[in-house]
Chains A and B, each alone.
Chain A
Amino acid sequence: MKISRRLFLKVAAGMAAAAAVGVPASRAHRPREGLAAEVPLPAPPAGQAGPSRRWVMVVDLAKCDGCRECTRACTAMHRVPPGQEWIRVYEMRDESTGLAYWLPRPCMQCDNPPCVKVCPVSATWKREDGIVMQDTSRCIGCRYCIAACPYQARGFNWVEPAATPERTGEPYDPEWNRVHFRGTTEKCIFCPALIKEGKLPACVAACPMGALYFGDREEDAVTNSQGETVRFSALVIEQAGYRLMEELGTEPRVYYLPPRKPQYPLPPPEEPEPAAGAGRAAIPAPAVPPKRIATAGGVRR
């Protein structure tokens, strides 16, 4: 039997229609009600058209002195449950050169996000402004996204958090993310609620060194806590900006400027101290093996 052109087109159209109707998967890239698309943004500067936003962060490793003010500000702003650090400052050391530096790691807000791909219930999704959002009121707690994230940027509420909606009386708002649910996954979301108010994310605003820059790639401008606004493209090109684990193809939206001529004290040679928070009393504290402190596996350019 020959398949006529007409029949082929009919079948193809039918299949396309079925795919369009039957695959809820496409919601991953669709902004949800009340979020992304409706974010009222400050008017773009005169002469620049286009309402679209593409948020980026730039971390100048030459300026970071490892004070962890960013982590503290983030934890206070979101009431991050103990044990989690949504922006974690790593102590890195290149084994071959001995180069030591601090590496603040927020969520990379990847453009090809491994976590979004694997989420079975669309509890995490990519917004049009580049932010990888998280809805903990929908999360089923399978932790697949934590397994998928190569940056260790996700944490889990293993025990009942202190700030639940019941205890605080606050409703859950994914853009603020100040109340938490047990048994769900959480992460850095670039403080969309603060952005909406025209403010910098909590970590960026808190950095005393001005090492963190935040801005809109469409505007080609990023700002730090010192009020310095610089061209994103110039900053990244002139200072050889790179992204973490570029070779994995996750397309992060966080850029790092290499730690040239560092303006900070180097990380101490001893092993890093554990984060404050919920340990298990029953299990003796194991030392993190020293060789894990900073193998070359951590950072690649």
Chain B
Amino acid sequence: MSTRQATPRFSEREERLLASLTAGGVGTYALIGGLLAVFLWGLVAYATQLRHGLGVTGLRDHVLWGVYIANFVFFIGVSHVGALMSAILRLTGAEWRRPITRMAEAITFASLLMGALMPLVDMGRPDRLLNLVRYGRLQSPVLWDILSITTYLTGSTLFLYVPMIPDLALLRDRYADGPAWRRRLYTFLSLGWQDTPAQRHQLELIMKVMAVIIIPIAVSVHTVVSWIFGMTLRAGWNSTILGPYFVSGALFSGAAAVITAMAAFRWAYRLEDYITEAHFRRMGYLLIALGLAYGYFTFAEYLTPAYKMATAERGYLTAVFSGPFARLFWFTQLTGILLPLLLLTLPRIAWVPRLHRVPLLRPQPALAAAATYAVASVVLSAASPRLTMAGLNLNEWIPPWVLPVVAVWLFLAFLPVFHARPVMAAAVASLLVNFGAWLKRYLIVVPTLLNPFLPIQRAPAGWAVYQPTWVEWSITAGALAGFLLIYIGFSKLFPIVPIWETREAPAPREAADQEGIVGVPAL
């Protein structure tokens, strides 16, 4: 390009915010390469499934849906918050939202794409996909999902794109060092934006209307996902509150995903001036509120049938509370809801740092105890089959109360650490929330299918249990890698922190601090 000398350069602030576009070290390429490898491996697994049919999965007539559908619910859930949160904060005029709206909306975009793929992967006859158009029947919840998800994908993509136009125009005008194809891309996508008052007015108007429209669409998406299950008669799915329950779970996991992304970008591109601790504090409050709502729904959803123990639901509830799924269920409740909420609240207590005055409550002894416990239990369980014959049952040497004690010890020892690093606390809590969210999706799909009305009888070997195969795990890993690839790719192509919107606001650090803890208008 010969006109390069006429092009104005980025300001220092813009350089900083555009670091994700311009910078790219060995680490970035290694990460992208690794993710690409995992994604391609997922494609190999899918090719295997296409060739041999769904028989290569662990699914059979009883457990007819498995991790694919769990992934579907999970990704759609994660997608939930981005556009919704951004719309609510925009409508309520919460100024602190400005630096994080785009990274939240991009999560919606990436995870919706991956979530929408999952039912396709689960289909027995993907070659007959067009039958959904040719013979589609509106009374099937599958059609509701297709309509709702495509609407949400369109709406949230627009919602992501429209406020990006001024930034794209800025890149068009000033990204002199960029390759030609990028400048052509930005020129095309910025739609002739000249930053005139009329254009600004139009953009604001569009965003207001979009923000109002996107909220009911977002709520509808996860409601109809839940109705896939809720419209059947099966124990555990036959529930009237499944819609709002799924919505609350989606909001919780989606907000956690936003916090994870905030922490990752802040760390990777040194954005501490723009994504401040105040942002994590506010998002933490949001996560606490959503977690409490989700915990309440969980309690209501399980208590009402558990109180009655009706015939139809007894087998399912027993399996979940005290049967084969009990460990997973209680682990999920503990690490997916309770622990994140504790991590977000307890480290704020003023006397927490004093815990370290107790020598035993420093991280080193607690870590040493945990390591000892882990090594001892591995060694003992490996050695015990031989020694049991000699009359020694080594497994009983470690009483069952040791594990909770070690866990509480570790937790107390790390509380002061989290007190000193609130961002890390929020990031760890949000990762736990999303891990627990996936496990919960699995617990929604599988135990119900293993507890049908009629007893499971005459099932061929392997048909009465569910053991996901390497194909399912590979495709799941590939989907996660695909999600991250889309997300990272987005941040490499487009400014992940809105430049013009943060310029419009008061200097970010001041704005965040001014609003303080009490005066959070949006929450």
Residues of chain A touching chain B, judged by Cβ–Cβ distance below 8 Å, are: 23-25, 27-28, 82-85, 88-92, 105, 114, 117-123, 138-144, 146-148, 150-152, 154-160, 181-185, 245, 248, 250, 272-280, 282-286, 288, 292-298, 300
Q: Could you list 28 examples of A-B contacts with CB < 8 Å?
A: A24-B137, A82-B460, A118-B141, A121-B132, A121-B134, A121-B135, A138-B128, A139-B128, A140-B128, A146-B61, A147-B64, A147-B449, A148-B233, A151-B453, A151-B454, A156-B64, A158-B53, A159-B53, A184-B124, A185-B124, A245-B453, A283-B58, A283-B462, A286-B462, A286-B465, A288-B456, A288-B459, A292-B315
A256 smallest CB distance to B (angstroms): 13
User: Within 8 Å CB of B61, what residues of A?
Assistant: 83-84, 146, 152, 154-156
Q: Which B residues are in CB contact (< 8 Å) with A277?
A: 460
- Cβ-defined partner of B122 (8 Å) among A138, A142, A293: A142
In contact, B143 and A120 (Cβ under 8 angstroms):
yes
Query: Which of chain A's residues has its CB closest to B310's CB?
Result: A297
Contact partners of A114 in chain B: CB under 8 A: 232-233
A85 near B135 with CB under 8 A, answer: no
Which residues on the A side are within 8 Å of B125 (C-beta)?
Answer: 139-141, 181-184
Looking at the assembled complex, report how far the CB atom of A142 sits from the nearest CB atom of chain B, in whole angstroms.
6
- CA–CA, A183 to B57, complex, Å? 12
Q: Is the CB of A83 within 8 A of B460?
A: yes
Whole-angstrom CA separation of A143 from B65 in the bound complex: 8
Q: Chain B residue with minimal CB distance to A158?
A: B55
A27, A83, A89, A143: the one within 8 Å of B124 (CB): A143
Closest CB-CB distance, B464 to chain A, in whole Å? 5
Contact A283 B467 (CB under 8 A): yes
B142 at interface (Cβ–Cβ under 8 A)? yes
0/1 interface trace, chain B 443-472, chain A, CB 8 Å (1 if under): 000000100111111111111110101000
Cβ–Cβ contact B464 & A288, under 8 A: yes
Q: Which residues of A contact B55 (CB under 8 A)?
A: 158-159
B59 CB within 8 Å of chain A: yes
Q: Which residues of B contact A (CB under 8 A)?
A: 52-55, 58-62, 64-65, 119, 122-125, 128-129, 131-132, 134-143, 228, 231-234, 311-312, 314-315, 449, 452-465, 467, 469
A28 and B137 contacting across the interface, CB-CB below 8 Å: yes
Closest A-chain residue to B143, C-beta based? A120
Give chain B residues whose Cβ lies under 8 Å from the Cβ of A27: 135, 137
Is the Cβ of B65 less than 8 Å from the Cβ of A297? Answer: no
Q: Which of B65, B140, B228, B456 has the most CB of A within 10 A?
A: B140
A-B Cβ contacts below 8 A, count: 205
- Interface majority SS on B: helix, strand, loop or mixed? loop
Q: Knowing A141-B125, A183-B53 are in contact, say whether A118-B231 is a contact too (CB < 8 A).
A: yes
Q: How far is the CA of A83 from the CA of B123 in the complex (A)?
A: 20
Question: Across chains A and B, which 7 residue pairs bring their CB atoms closest together, nearest first?
Answer: A141-B124, A183-B124, A279-B461, A285-B461, A159-B55, A120-B142, A120-B140
Chain A contacts of B143 at CB under 8 A? 120
Q: Are B315 and A295 in contact (CB under 8 A)?
A: yes
In the complex, which residues of chain A have a beta carbon less than 8 angstroms from the beta carbon of B460? 82-83, 274-279
Shortest Cβ gap from A186 to chain B (Å): 11
Please classify the interface of chain A as helix (H, G, I), strand (E, B), loop, or mixed, using the class held by over half of its residues: loop
Could you say which residues of chain B place their CB within 8 Å of the CB of A23? 138
A286 to B463, CA, bound (A): 9
Q: In the complex, which residues of chain B have a beta carbon less than 8 angstroms from the beta carbon of A286?
A: 461-462, 464-465
CA distance A277 to B461 in the complex (A): 9
Tell me whether B456 and A117 are in contact (CB under 8 A). no
Q: Please state if B233 and A140 are interface contacts (CB–CB under 8 Å).
A: no
Rounded to whole Å, the gap between the CB of A106 and the closest CB of chain B is 13
CB < 8 Å: which of B233, B315, B469 contacts A150?
B233
Contacts A122-B135, A160-B52 supplied; 10 other A-B pairs, CB < 8 Å = A83-B463, A119-B140, A143-B124, A147-B64, A147-B234, A152-B453, A274-B460, A282-B469, A283-B461, A285-B462
Give A184 to B457 CA distance when docked, in angstroms.
22
**Please, how many angstroms separate the alpha-carbon atoms of A201 and B456 in the complex?**
26
Which A residues touch B119, using CB under 8 A? 142
Closest to A250 in B: B233
Contact assessment for B455 and A298 in the assembled complex, using a CB-CB cutoff below 8 Å: yes
Pairwise interchain contact A273-B138, C-beta atoms closer than 8 A: no
- Chain B CB count within 10 A is highest, among A83, A147, A245, for A147
Cα A88 to Cα B452 with chains together (Å): 15
Give the distance in Å from the alpha carbon of A28 to the alpha carbon of B138 in the complex: 11
Q: Which of A82, A84, A105, A142 contacts B142 (CB under 8 A)?
A: A142
Chain A residues lying within 8 Å of B463, measured Cβ to Cβ, are: 83, 274, 279
| Complex CA distance for A296 and B313, rounded to whole angstroms | 12
Neighbouring A residues of B131 by C-beta, 8 Å: 121, 123, 138, 140
